[in-house]
Structure 1
């Protein structure tokens, strides 16, 4: 196992975090890995700040890791972020900045996810997962968004074609390396 990256977390709470439902740390048993499917961290921040629900909240992960390994916390751990349907109450959402299928997420001709994840970004992810495991005794599982949301929808370019709603973190995510470096079991 490579030496652990020194973890520094920058708190940058979203404006609506006080409206997100509180939870006990004992509920957290799952880390969900996402990719932003946006070009950069600034775009991901703007997306996360969008209010989408009557509660005055929107969609966001807890942590965002930029390509250079910078780790930001947008939602406190003790709040339930909206990042994966059906699993939010038990999960920490970790977003990796990566273009994914941007900007044609649901176009059937644009489903390749070609951007590699830089080593510094994955090093920071592993360090964060070690930190979370130390702080959340029930944390035992890890999954990709694609493992938990398997729904298909009509393609934006051809409604007769179905595409996966979520593919992140995608085929370039280094699952073997991450699973070798953390003591979490993959769901899915």
Structure 2
């Protein structure tokens, strides 16, 4: 009887949009950003013009996870930044494309995980690597260091993603420069680069310690 109750509870969670994995402690809440026809067309144009990849659907084959922080200290304010189709107020980025920045997952300060886009949908979050990278954004920044709950949530989320996709690399956004000049780097403009510090060496060191059994790479060989 107890097992039946658990099964019914899990079914109900999935029905209302909560993903549950083994152990019934790890959950992903669905909070989708707008991905309409215009966003898909802008994504396809980005893939072609910035990555040199022509596709008929705005999808990726994930091989990497890039961890970010938002530098915005609330979940809803961050969602409001990512949700619009068009990017505004950032001329250093709009010169490359009007497609708004986004990510696949958003982790709140208490470690609650929200899915903004499906794992294999294209998102603009890391120059040169969007075509192969799942983005995880964490609420916080220099004035609001990422929390222990977020560290735990990121580790659990990456383990979940590793079971679904052939993830080889896990990097912090501030580490993406290491891929320039390699076969993995796909950016048509060699001068298009931005300086990043998120989420920082300390957070990534702690995260890699939790994931060391999976032997992820942090830079190209």
TM-score of the pair, normalised by structure 2: 0.63
Q: For residue 130 of structure 1, report the CA deviation from its aligned partner.
A: 0.4
Larger Rg computed on CA atoms: 2
2:219 corresponds in structure 1 to: 187
1:140-174 Cα distance to aligned partner (Å, 9 max, x none): 10111111158xxxxxxxxxxxxx7321112552x
Task: Report if aligned partners of 1:17, 1:75 keep a CA contact under 8 Å in 2.
Answer: no
Residues 126 and 45 (structure 1), Cα distance of their counterparts in 2 relative to 1, 3 Å cut: same
Q: Establish whether residue 31 from structure 1 lines up as the match of residue 65 from structure 2.
A: yes
Candidates 139, 147, 150, aligned match of 2:175: 147
Unaligned 5+ segments in structure 2 are 1-22, 44-57, 88-93, 179-193
Deviations 1:45-85 (A, max 9, x none): 011013227x9841111000001011001111121101011
- C-alpha root-mean-square deviation of aligned residues, in Å? 2.5
Higher helix content, 1 or 2: 2
User: How far apart in 1 are the matches of 2:32 and 2:73?
Assistant: 21
Higher strand share: 1
Deviation by residue 1:72-123 (Cα, 9 ceiling, x = unmatched):
011111211010111001000000110x2xxxxxxxxxxxx24332111111
* Gap change, CA 1:17 and 1:37, over 3 Å in 2: farther
Tell me how many residue pairs correspond in the alignment: 155
Runs of at least 4 residues off by over 6 Å: none
Q: Which has the higher contact order (CA 8 A, sep 6+)?
A: 1
